[in-house]
Structure 1
Amino acid sequence: MTDHHEPSPTILLSTPPRGPLPLPETEPRRAAEPLPPLLQDSSFWGMSVTQFLGAFNDNLFKQLLLLLATPSAVMIAAAQARGEQVPDRQAEAMIVFAAAFLLFSGIAGWLADRMSKRTLIGYAKVAEIGVMLLGMVGFYYYDVIGLPGMFAVLFLMGLQSTFFGPPKYGILPEMIHERDLPQANGIFLMFTFVAIIFGTVLAGMAKELSDAGGAVWMVSGVCVLIAVVGTLTSLLVRPVSAANPGCPLRWTDFFVPPESIRLVRADRELLLALVVTSSFWLLGSIVQQAVNALGKSQLGLDDGNTSILAAMLGVGIPVGCLIGGKLSAGRINPRVVTAGAVGIVVCLSLLSLRGGPNDHLLGFYGSIPVLIGAGISTGIFIVPIQVAVQALPPANEKGRMIALMNQCNWVGIIFGALLYKATLWGVEALDQPRNTAFAVGALVMLPIAIFYQPKERALGD
């Protein structure tokens, strides 16, 4: 569940956020009124397609590297016969990808407030073309640079995503009505996770092509073309003015600006939303790696079928996003959050059950509907939280707050990678099946399902 990922407007709330930072008297970032209806807005659809194409590239490249980093059941058996172990290096890949977000999210958030978000989106998409070109060259010379060399390209991909994240989510409240945020986020996230499906499945096909002696670098060439198309679709996004054009650059902007710290300390709802979204992406980090390990290492599937298994989460998430957006229409709805969290816990618990062939009760075909159910629950859960992080901060702080959310999310992803690594060490030491990692994920989500209740809020205009 990535989007890697992971995976995020001036807002009139029934209870405006309190804190030492004054709310601006005007909305300089909002495009000129009147705005068209959401579903007739070419600017919104241009941004959605741009996000779709970017998420496709991210997930194809990342899943391909995760498959390269995951040992197959045959490799594990051969190593065990020699008294050796084959390392699962997925956690390393996730940490490399996340490092860019941790190091540069602060400056990315500052830029998103100081510059027009539409301009920053354009620059980020041009940078994506360059990164995809490097990826194509890297796969062409993979026999020379190996996995460590591709990790360097993965870091650059994470860096590009770091600067793309704050403007792509922060621009939504500037170019649409606030009352449309739940539906817009549902559609936006639906596009994101449909991209995950296609990117993940194509990664498995590309890996099998490579194993059969094909040229996987040619698939990366397609990614370059997709990055070019995404750059063109970003031109459809309507111009918006900078939120805080006179904002000076301070050394604290490279980390967490003090204004953002004061804001989250003063607004408990916003603080809890950040903690929960970070925990959510911690869970996503565990589940993505667990699905790959279940397919390749436990069930003995090839890369294509393993990627199909991973993509089943993406099949359910778009449906869940639309449901979450519909149920949250015009408001932040705590009951939607709880329903999604409970569904995630139930589905992950089912995936952790032992028994049957390969010590996994559900097996390949039984896992498919449960993974789809987990995806639906995920979409329902995340939409209201995404809206909360967009809606709660004051207008001149939203770019940096979304950057702070990115930092929190990637701290969660790194901890998820480390927790998965520790779980893997434990199951190997105790001779337990690898689907035990799903039980760990269920335990992460359980306190959120029981205790987290965001305040119900009606959204404004």
Structure 2
Amino acid sequence: MSSNSAKQTALIKSKRFLPFFITQFLGAFNDNVFRNSLALLIGFQLTRFESSLPFADNKDILINLAAVLFILPLFIFSATAGQLADKYEKSQLIRIVKFSEVIIMSLAAVAFYFSSLIGLLAVLFLMGTQSSFFGPVKYAIIPQHLKETELVAGNAWVELGTFIAILLGTILGGLLTELPSATTWISCFIIGLATFGYLSSKHIPPAPSSVPDLHINWNPITQTFRTLRYARETRAVYLSILAISWFWFLGIAYLTQLPNFTSFVINGNPNIWTCLLASFSIGIALGSLSCDRLSGHKIELGIVPLGSIGLTIFGIDLFLASYALPPHNLEEITIISFFSISANLRVLIDLALIGFFGGLFIVPLYAMIQSRTNEAYRARVIAANNILNALFMLVSGICAIISMGLLKLSIPQFFLILALSNGLVAIYVFSVVPEFTMRFLIYLLSHSMYRVKSLNLDRIPETGPAVIVCNHVSYVDALLIAGACRRPIRFVMDKPIYDLPVLNFIFRVAKAIPITAKAKHPTSFNHAFDRIAEELEQGNVVCIFPEGKLTKTGEINPFKRGIEKILSRTPVPVVPMALQGLWGSFFSHHGGPAMAKRPRRFWSKIRLVTGHPIPAEEASAEKLYQEVAQLRGENA
């Protein structure tokens, strides 16, 4: 077992996470068992119900009404739920919510017993209400129980559990409706799942209140707008929420159209629909778990554009694969004949990869929201996420109606529009939040040309100001360090390097500080030191390359006195760092000017070694030179 798999397994087995995971999984499972069994009963056994509704015999209206009744509470109650999750101890709040699920499922059993359609629709609304109160506390409790290095893995397990629950709930809901005494079996299962969910919630560790003295605003309208304002306070967080909502727009669109896609495009039976749903769900599960491995156990926004690119590419290919399917026969194809046609396998693979890249897309976004949102109103920001998710899902359904109802588009054409729209949305988001693009370029560099292994990065202070000093080997030193470190770093670099095409975009987004020689431009030289002092006074980390230029021999050049000038003005700890293995790379001066020769190889092994912090009063140019030289050793 790899170290990544071992860490993920250790997390899911831990007492601080496993009870929560089981609780949220059983809740999602129960939701889908009830909703899908009710939808199938309405669709195929409507006559078993009694109702005084004027449209009680219209299946299409009832199914769409059921969907609205489940989503509507997210608009009404999410803002209140976010306040409660911030005000009260979260594990106790989860137990209250899960106990309410037992009561709601008992009411569902009563409605099944009396064949009351109105009662079942009312229960569906109550389930949506229960879900709206569970959502904010569900995601707000994760960062209280997990370390920051576990946030990605924790969210990956949650997303995996959610989509596996959707898959299993859909399958079980279908199986239960085909049994004799179907409503009795459904009632037993949903009450049983709710009960087990409540029992597992009793083992969730306590999570203290974030704002115990918070005054609750019970007006859902005014509080909804106030909650959305909390989400907008940090632009990157707000756009991440919009990106998550867009994912649910896509996800609901694909999931909703799969039954008709199976029937009218593939000419398949319900078993084939189950295979397509399984492919999509398992893809999301694998993509979610892969996030932790690909990100190196940290919140890596560079994966988000990768996920978005995959969603567009394989969404387009799903459209193309649909037109490569063989002509329909008069008879419906079976599961055996489905797998014997290569074009069908292409559809299956496309759906799996759409799910996989969807997992890569969504998990880092959830982790970033949790990490970058103030704990005092974290649950309210997550409530804002739920509100916007519901809005986007509602708009997704309207778009499907317009596209295929009014515009008469085929399902494959609708899928093409989804894929192309995703590309446009991605371009917009990544242009207004260039941090995503910057991290993506850094991620590509550090996972294509280089394999970077970090040692003792935990020696960089988690909070507060510090200066990092490192040897200067190549034009991409700053990118490799930025990709490895969890804290944002302000790099001080020679202006010609800062002005390099493409890299300049990254350096500007990272708020790098260009510097020129004092003799060439004294004003710019002094301005750079003013910027350094400002960043340190604000509690940020600044990285300098005291050599002042790239090495041309592979050896470390003497350190200049600029570091002493920085420390005399702003005394902060100094963290020595050394890059090993970059000499001889395409971006170094080995064998001639950098970037003027063909790369020798890709995926070169690079090591980034961090030393112990040195107090400002003990740090001198000579001492820091010796520390960095010792860290680098003979591995130039």
1:395 equivalent in alignment to 2:375: yes
Q: Report the TM-score, using the length of structure 1 for normalisation.
A: 0.79
Structural mapping, 1:19-418, within 5 Å: 38=11, 41-67=14-40, 87=60, 90-142=63-115, 144-145=116-117, 149-207=119-177, 209=178, 215-251=182-218, 255-256=222-223, 260-296=227-263, 298-352=265-319, 353-354=322-323, 355-358=325-328, 365-418=345-398
Q: Work out whether residues 176 and 185 of structure 2, in 8 Å CA contact, stay in contact via their aligned partners in 1.
A: no
Task: Quote how far apart the aligned CAs of 1:293 are.
Answer: 2.0
Task: Quote how far apart the aligned CAs of 1:239 are.
Answer: 0.9
1:441 equivalent in alignment to 2:421: no
- What is residue 4 of structure 1 aligned with on the other side? none
The size of the alignment, in residue pairs, is 403
2:396 and 2:113 map into 1 onto residues whose CA distance is 31
The 1:425–1:89 alpha-carbon spacing in structure 2 relative to 1, beyond 3 Å, is farther
The 1:38–1:67 alpha-carbon spacing in structure 2 relative to 1, beyond 3 Å, is same
The 1:329–1:96 alpha-carbon spacing in structure 2 relative to 1, beyond 3 Å, is farther
The 1:256–1:293 alpha-carbon spacing in structure 2 relative to 1, beyond 3 Å, is farther
Q: Report the TM-score, using the length of structure 2 for normalisation.
A: 0.58
1:92 and 1:357 map into 2 onto residues whose CA distance is 35
Q: Identify the structure with bigger relative contact order (alpha carbons < 8 Å, sequence gap 6+).
A: 1
Which residue identity does 2:199 align to in structure 1? L
- 2:202 aligned counterpart, secondary structure: helix
Higher strand share: 2
Q: Work out whether residues 56 and 199 of structure 1, in 8 Å CA contact, stay in contact via their aligned partners in 2.
A: yes
1:45 and 1:95 map into 2 onto residues whose CA distance is 32
Which residue identity does 1:192 align to in structure 2? T
Identity of aligned residues (%): 28
Q: Deviations over 1:148-188 (max 9, x none)?
A: 65333222111111111111110011112122111111122
Task: Return 433-442 or 161-170, whichever deviates more.
Answer: 433-442
The 1:104–1:258 alpha-carbon spacing in structure 2 relative to 1, beyond 3 Å, is closer
Q: Work out whether residues 36 and 173 of structure 2, in 8 Å CA contact, stay in contact via their aligned partners in 1.
A: yes
1:69 and 1:372 map into 2 onto residues whose CA distance is 30
- 2:16 aligned counterpart, secondary structure: helix
2:184 and 2:412 map into 1 onto residues whose CA distance is 32
Task: Quote how far apart the aligned CAs of 1:70 are.
Answer: 6.4
1:317 and 1:285 map into 2 onto residues whose CA distance is 13
- What is residue 22 of structure 1 aligned with on the other side? none
1:288 and 1:449 map into 2 onto residues whose CA distance is 21
- 1:322 aligned counterpart, secondary structure: helix
- What is residue 5 of structure 1 aligned with on the other side? none
* Aligned alpha-carbon RMSD (Å): 3.0
The 1:57–1:297 alpha-carbon spacing in structure 2 relative to 1, beyond 3 Å, is farther
Q: Deviations over 1:306-345 (max 9, x none)?
A: 3343232111111100111222344432331111112222
1:214 and 1:249 map into 2 onto residues whose CA distance is 45
1:426 and 1:362 map into 2 onto residues whose CA distance is 33
Q: Work out whether residues 91 and 421 of structure 1, in 8 Å CA contact, stay in contact via their aligned partners in 2.
A: no
Q: Work out whether residues 182 and 325 of structure 1, in 8 Å CA contact, stay in contact via their aligned partners in 2.
A: yes
2:382 and 2:373 map into 1 onto residues whose CA distance is 9
Task: Quote how far apart the aligned CAs of 1:287 are.
Answer: 1.2
The 1:363–1:121 alpha-carbon spacing in structure 2 relative to 1, beyond 3 Å, is farther
Task: Return 311-320 or 322-331, whichever deviates more.
Answer: 322-331
Which residue identity does 2:96 align to in structure 1? Y
- 2:72 aligned counterpart, secondary structure: helix
Q: Work out whether residues 34 and 186 of structure 2, in 8 Å CA contact, stay in contact via their aligned partners in 1.
A: no
Task: Return 408-417 or 358-367, whichever deviates more.
Answer: 358-367
- What is residue 33 of structure 1 aligned with on the other side? none
Q: Work out whether residues 70 and 88 of structure 1, in 8 Å CA contact, stay in contact via their aligned partners in 2.
A: no
2:397 and 2:42 map into 1 onto residues whose CA distance is 13
The 1:103–1:262 alpha-carbon spacing in structure 2 relative to 1, beyond 3 Å, is closer
Task: Quote how far apart the aligned CAs of 1:437 are.
Answer: 2.9
1:88 and 1:350 map into 2 onto residues whose CA distance is 33
The 1:63–1:357 alpha-carbon spacing in structure 2 relative to 1, beyond 3 Å, is farther
1:132 and 1:66 map into 2 onto residues whose CA distance is 16
Task: Quote how far apart the aligned CAs of 1:347 are.
Answer: 2.6
Quick check: which has more Rg, 1 or 2?
A: 2
1:117 and 1:322 map into 2 onto residues whose CA distance is 26
Q: Work out whether residues 112 and 120 of structure 1, in 8 Å CA contact, stay in contact via their aligned partners in 2.
A: yes
Which residue identity does 1:152 align to in structure 2? A
Q: Work out whether residues 338 and 452 of structure 1, in 8 Å CA contact, stay in contact via their aligned partners in 2.
A: no
Higher helix share: 1
Q: Deviations over 1:68-114 (max 9, x none)?
A: 5669xxxxxxxxxxxxx984865443322110101110111111011
Q: Work out whether residues 201 and 304 of structure 1, in 8 Å CA contact, stay in contact via their aligned partners in 2.
A: no
The 1:118–1:180 alpha-carbon spacing in structure 2 relative to 1, beyond 3 Å, is same
- 1:452 aligned counterpart, secondary structure: helix
Task: Quote how far apart the aligned CAs of 1:300 are.
Answer: 4.8
1:320 and 1:342 map into 2 onto residues whose CA distance is 14
Task: Quote how far apart the aligned CAs of 1:232 are.
Answer: 1.0
Which residue identity does 2:149 align to in structure 1? R
Which residue identity does 2:417 align to in structure 1? V
Moved over 6 A (4+): 359-363
Task: Return 92-101 or 376-385, whichever deviates more.
Answer: 92-101
Q: Deviations over 1:394-446 (max 9, x none)?
A: 1100011111111010011111111122223136xx4x533433223223322
- What is residue 333 of structure 2 aligned with on the other side? none
